[in-house]
Structure 1
Amino acid sequence: MTEKKVSFLHSMKAVFWAMLGVRANKGYDDDVKKLSAKQVIIAGLIGVAAFITTLILVVRFVIGNVAG
């Protein structure tokens, strides 16, 4: 019983939608069957790092415009 390996892009998409909280049950079930824990952890860390970086850049931009 061999499962198809899922691309890293697919795991990033799954984590992105899960972070937004809009995963359908069917999509969630498919992801649980196909994704490995390693893929989800790495994709989650990358997603969180991108989110924090975006927040920092937005705050710096807003503070720069208000102060300048």
Structure 2
Amino acid sequence: MDKQLEKPPRGFGATLLAVAWSFIGLRRRSDFERDVGALRPAYVLAGALIAAACFVGLLLAAVRLATS
């Protein structure tokens, strides 16, 4: 593949932001296409696990608050 066409890898913070937008379903197609080759799979997995853990934590806190 041509070196000019390759996208530079994005950092962990940028990956977390992309995962957060994708997690809530507000992702523009242009952003998705820009990220397809630039996101590192390990960062995406770590970001998804962090986002899922935060989501579960928020749900547990909401239930605890509602039942107390």
Give the alignment's TM-score, normalised by structure 2. 0.84
Q: 2:45 aligns with which of 23, 41, 47?
A: 41
The one-letter amino acid paired with 1:37 is: P
Superposed structure 1 runs of 4+ greater than 6 Å apart: none
More helix by share: 1
AA at the equivalent of 1:24: R
1-structure distance, mates of 2:41, 2:51: 15
> Shift of residue 3 of structure 1?
3.8
Separation (CA, whole Å) in 2 of partners of 1:23 and 1:51: 18
5+ long unaligned stretches in structure 1: none
Could you tell me which runs of 5 or more consecutive residues in structure 2 were left unpaired when the two chains were aligned. none
Which residue of structure 2 aligns with residue 30 of structure 1?
34
1:54 aligns with 2:68: no
What is the number of residues matched between the two proteins? 64
**Structure-2 separation of matches of 1:62 and 1:53:** 14
| Identity in percent | 27
